[in-house]
Structure 1
Amino acid sequence: MALGPLLGLFIVSLGSGFMSSLTSLRLDAAGVSATMIGAISSAYFVGLTLGAVTSDRLISRIGHIRSYSSFASLVSITYLLQGLIPDPWVWLLLRLVNGWAMVGIYLVVESWLLLAGDTKSRGRLLAIYMIALYGSIMLAQMSLGAIGTAVDSVPFMAAGVLGAMAVLPMAILPRTAPEVGHAEPLMPQDLFRVTPAGAIGSLGSGIGIAAVYTLLPIYLQREGLSVSEVGDMMACAICGAMALQYPVGRWSDRQDRQTVLLALSAGCAVVSLLVLVLPSYPPVLSVLMFLIGGGIFAIYPVAVSHSADRAEPRELVRVIQGMLLINSVGAAASPLLISPLMNRSGPGGLFWAFLVLHAALAAYFLLRRRAHPAPVSAAPFAATAQMTPVGAEIRVTEELAQAAVVPTPQTAEAGQL
C-alpha cells in the first residue's frame, strides 16, 4: 500500500514548500547579505546531495518506518530551532541537516512506490508522486501570504507541526516495508563522456531549479511585492512546472530531444529577457513566472530521457542516478554563484543569470545538434521530479528497458551524443 507514504510526503512537503521561500524572505528582510543567503540556500542542497548517497544505508539498518519517523522528526526539529535561534550561521547548519533529512523521506517514499507496483505501473506511480510533491509545494506557496506575515516564530512552528504530523500516515497505514539496495551511480566524468548533452542539461537544470526555489522569492520581494504576492507568483512558477512537463514530454517523444532541449533553453532565455524589460504588472509577471517555471523544470526530465535513450539496459538505473547527482551538484552551487551577482547588480541579477545560463545552454545544444544528431526517442517520456538514487528505478519502465535492447538505425548512426 502506497497511501501512507504519499500522504506523509504531501504533509511534510507542505511545510518544506513554504520554508524554502520563507527562509530566504526572512533573511533578506533582516538585512542579511545576498551572499550569506546564497550560502544558507546552498547548504540545503548540499544536505540533499549527501543524503542521497548515504541515507539508504541507514534505512537498511533500522527499517523504513523507523527511518521515516526519524527523518520527519529531524525535519520538524530543524524548523522549530530556526524559529528559536534567528542566527544566519545556525540557520546554515539547520538547513544542511534539513536537506539531509528531507532526502531521507524522499528515499523512503520512493522505495515504497517501487514495491507497490511493477514496471508496467511505475509511470502511473511516478505521476502520483509528482502530483503529491509539486501539488503540496504549490499549495504551500499559495499559503505563504497567510503564514509568512505571521509574527516571529509562528511560521516555523506551523512547519514543525506539519513535520510531526507527517509521521502519522506512515506509522499507521503501511503494513509491509520494501528492501532498499545500494547502487553506485555512474560518475559525472563518465556521463559527460557518454552523454554530454544530457549531463550539461542536468547540470544547468539543477542551477536553474535551485535558483527558483531560493532566490526568486528574494527577487520578487525586492521588486516591491508583498509576502502574499510573492507566494502567488511562486505558485505560478510551480504550476508551470506541473502543467508544462507533460506537453513538453509528448513533444520530445515526437521530436529529437536535443532539439527540445535547445528550444526550452532558448525559450527560458527569452522569458528571462522579458522579465528584465517589461514592467512588473501582476498579470504580466504571473504569466512570465508560469513560463519560466515550466521551462526550467522541464529541462531536467528531457535531459534524463535523452541520456536514457543511449543507455544499455543494465546501466539505465545507474545513468539516471548519475544524472541526479550532477543535477544536485548544480543545485548546491547555484545560490553561491548567483547571489553575489544579485548583491552587485540588484535583484535583476537573478534574471541576468538566467539569461546567460540558458543562452549558453542553447548555444551548446545547437553545437551538439549539428555535430552529433540525437537518436530517435527510445521510449515514451516520463515526467520527472528530482528524486533519490533509489527512486530513479521508478523511471525504468518495461518499455524503456526493451527499447534499450535493440538500438534503432538512427541511434547507431548518431554515435556519441
Structure 2
Amino acid sequence: MSRQLLLMALAPLLGLFILGIGNGFLATLITLRLDAAGESPVVIGWVSSAYFIGLALGAMLNDRLLLAIGHIRAYGSFASLVAVTVLLQGLVFEPVAWFVLRLIGGWATVGVFLVIESWLLAAGDAQVRGRLLALYMIAIYAAGVLGQLLLGVTQAMGPTAPFMVIGLLASLSVLPMAMLPRVTPLLDKAEPLSPLRLITLTPTGVMGSFGSGLAVAAVYTLLPLYLQRTGFTVDRVGQLMAVMVLGAMLLQYPVGRWSDRHDRQMVLILIGAFCALISAGILWLPLPPWGLAALLFLLGGGVFSLYPVSVGHAADRAPAGALVRMSQGLLLINAIGSTLSPPVITPVMTVVGDAGLFWSLGALGLILVGFFGWRRSVRPAPVPVAPFSPTTPLSAAGAELSVTEEWVQGALEHEHVEDLSGAVPDVEVAEPLVGPPPPDEAHIVYYEDDGTAPDAPGQEGVAGASRA
C-alpha cells in the first residue's frame, strides 16, 4: 500500500477514531443504565433497536447529502448531530425520549460511516481494498477498546459525565477532517443501484452484511447484559467487552490482507464456521474468567470481520460509479440486520436463558456457512485462463515508434513464406523520431493564455503540446 494512499486515508480514519472512542461504550452505557433502573429486557432491546432503526433510515437517505455537499462538510454535519443527541440523553432519562434520541443518533452515525466507507472504497482498488477496510475497522475497534475502558472511569465522575465525554469526543472528531491536509475522492457521477440490483449483483455481500448486523448488534447490546447477569461487576464487564473489541481490532488487518490474496467467498465461509465454533465453546466448556476472555477475544475477531470482507467482496463486483450507492445499500442491509437482532434474540434469551445469546450466534454462523457455500458452488471464483505479464502502456504513436529491427525482420520472413512468387517487399525501417519535427512536417501552433497567436518564432509545438 502506497504512502500517498495512507496519507489520503489519514484524516477520515483519525476523525472516525476520535468519534468511535465515545460511540464504542455508548451502547454498553445505555444497556447498563436501563437495566439498573429496572427496565425489562424487552424495553432494553427496543431502545437498543432504535439506534439501528436510525441506521437503516440514514442508510436510505444520507447519500443525497453526501453527493450534494461533499465528504468533509457531510462528515461535520453528521458528527455534530451525534454530539447533540448524546448530550440530550445526559439531560433526560426517559426510555421513550432515549428511543427517539437513539434513532436520530443512529441516523447521524451511519452518515459518518457512509462518508468514511465511500472515501476509502473510491481511494483504493481491489488489490488494497481489503486492507483499507481493515484499517477502517481497526480505527473503530481501537476506539471501542479505549471507550470500554473509559466506562468505569466516567461512571465514577457522576451520572451525566459519560454523556458529556461522548459529546465532546464527537465534536472533536471534526478537527482532523477540517485541518489535516487531504485529497478527497472525486464524486463525478453516482450510478443508481436499486436494492434488487444490489442483491442480484452480490448475494454474498448482501447476506454477509445482514449477518454481520445481526451478530454485531447482539454482541454490543446483549453481551453486556449476559455478563452482568452472570455475576460480573460493571468494571469487569467493561474489561471483558474491551477484550472482545481488542480481538476485533488485532485480527482485522490479517483477515483483510488474507482476503486480498484469496477468494473472499472462501474467507467468509471460514469466518462463519469459526464464529459457530467459538460460540459452542463458550456454551459447553467450563471456562475460568481468563478462558472466557480468550474466547471473547477470538469471537470479536470473527464477528467483526464479517462486514469488511463482505463489503470488499461486493465492491469487487460493483461498477466504479456505483461505489457510493453500493456502500449505502450494504449499510442499509447491515442496519436492518442490526435492527432485527435484539427483538429476535431477546425472546430466545427469555425462553432458553442468558445462554440463548450464544445459541443464536452459533446458529447464525452455521446459516452463513451454508449460504456462502451454496453461492460458491453456484458461482465459483474465476480462474485466470493464462498467465499475464504487465507491460508499459503505449499510445498508438508510441507503439509505432517502439517497433525494432528484429520485429521488422520477422515480419519480412513471414511475408516471404506467404508470398508464392517469392518476392520480398522492400521495407525501410524508420529512424526513431528524436527532437523537434522538421519544418515541413505538419504541426500545431499553440497560443498564449490570452488566446492570441505568438509573434516571435520558436513558440510553435508539435501536436499535443497546446497550452490553451
Range of TM-score over shorter length: 0.7 to 0.9
Aligned 8 A contact 1:202 1:300 in 2: yes
- Could you tell me which residue of structure 1 aligns to residue 300 of structure 2? 293
Secondary structure, in 3 states, of the residue corresponding to 1:143? helix
Alignment of 1:196-207 (within 5 A): 196-207=203-214
Displacement of 1:27 in angstroms is 1.2
- Could you tell me which residue of structure 2 aligns to residue 22 of structure 1? 29
Instruction: After superposing the two structures, state which structure 1 stretch, 271-280 or 143-152, moved more.
Output: 143-152
- Could you tell me which residue of structure 2 aligns to residue 260 of structure 1? 267
Alignment of 1:109-258 (within 5 A): 109-110=116-117, 126-173=133-180, 183=190, 186-252=193-259, 256-258=263-265
Question: How many equivalent residue pairs?
Answer: 377
Secondary structure, in 3 states, of the residue corresponding to 2:304? helix
Displacement of 1:28 in angstroms is 1.7
Displacement of 1:366 in angstroms is 3.8
- Could you tell me which residue of structure 2 aligns to residue 362 of structure 1? 369
Aligned 8 A contact 1:38 1:339 in 2: yes
Give the one of 56, 64, 67 matched to 2:63: 56
Aligned 8 A contact 1:46 1:96 in 2: yes
Question: Partner amino acid for 1:158?
Answer: V
Distance 2:309 2:133 in 1: 15
Q: Deviations over 1:259-318 (max 9, x none)?
A: 433322222112111112233522101111111111112222333344455556666665
Residue segments in structure 2 that go unaligned for 5+ positions in a row: 1-7, 385-389, 391-468
Distance 1:183 1:215 in 2: 38
Indicate the structure with greater helix content. 1
Q: Deviations over 1:160-182 (max 9, x none)?
A: 22223334444444688766567
Question: Partner amino acid for 1:327?
Answer: N
Distance 2:261 2:178 in 1: 44
Question: Partner amino acid for 2:168?
Answer: V
Instruction: After superposing the two structures, state which structure 1 stretch, 26-35 or 148-157, moved more.
Output: 148-157
Secondary structure, in 3 states, of the residue corresponding to 1:156? helix
Question: Partner amino acid for 2:38?
Answer: G
- Could you tell me which residue of structure 2 aligns to residue 11 of structure 1? 18
- Could you tell me which residue of structure 2 aligns to residue 74 of structure 1? 81
Distance 1:297 1:141 in 2: 16
Distance 1:149 1:175 in 2: 39
Supply the RMSD in Å over aligned alpha carbons. 3.3
Q: Deviations over 1:145-169 (max 9, x none)?
A: 2224543212112212222333444
Distance 2:374 2:118 in 1: 38
Residue segments in structure 1 that go unaligned for 5+ positions in a row: 379-398, 400-417
Aligned 8 A contact 1:4 1:173 in 2: yes
Distance 1:354 1:173 in 2: 41
- Could you tell me which residue of structure 1 aligns to residue 276 of structure 2? 269
Distance 1:100 1:316 in 2: 20
TM-score normalised by structure 1 residue count: 0.78
- Could you tell me which residue of structure 2 aligns to residue 332 of structure 1? 339
- Could you tell me which residue of structure 2 aligns to residue 412 of structure 1? none
Question: Partner amino acid for 1:372?
Answer: V
Question: Partner amino acid for 1:334?
Answer: S
Aligned 8 A contact 1:34 1:342 in 2: no
- Could you tell me which residue of structure 1 aligns to residue 358 of structure 2? 351
Displacement of 1:125 in angstroms is 5.3
Closer, same or farther in 2 for the Cα pair 1:69/1:304, shift >3 Å? closer
Larger Rg: 2
Displacement of 1:255 in angstroms is 5.2
Q: Deviations over 1:159-211 (max 9, x none)?
A: 12222333444444468876656746644433444443443222212111111
Distance 2:324 2:89 in 1: 37
Distance 1:291 1:121 in 2: 24
Instruction: After superposing the two structures, state which structure 1 stretch, 50-59 or 246-255, moved more.
Output: 246-255
Question: Partner amino acid for 1:356?
Answer: A
Displacement of 1:5 in angstroms is 4.0
Distance 1:110 1:311 in 2: 14
- Could you tell me which residue of structure 2 aligns to residue 372 of structure 1? 378
Secondary structure, in 3 states, of the residue corresponding to 1:215? helix
Question: Partner amino acid for 1:40?
Answer: V
Distance 1:275 1:48 in 2: 30
Identify which of structures 1 and 2 has the higher relative contact order when contacts are C-alpha pairs closer than 8 Å and 6+ apart: 1
Distance 2:267 2:121 in 1: 29
Closer, same or farther in 2 for the Cα pair 1:180/1:211, shift >3 Å? farther
Q: Deviations over 1:386-415 (max 9, x none)?
A: xxxxxxxxxxxxx9xxxxxxxxxxxxxxxx
Aligned 8 A contact 2:25 2:148 in 1: yes
Closer, same or farther in 2 for the Cα pair 1:374/1:111, shift >3 Å? closer
Distance 2:13 2:292 in 1: 33
TM-score normalised by structure 2 residue count: 0.70
Distance 2:310 2:66 in 1: 30
Give the one of 68, 78, 97 matched to 2:104: 97
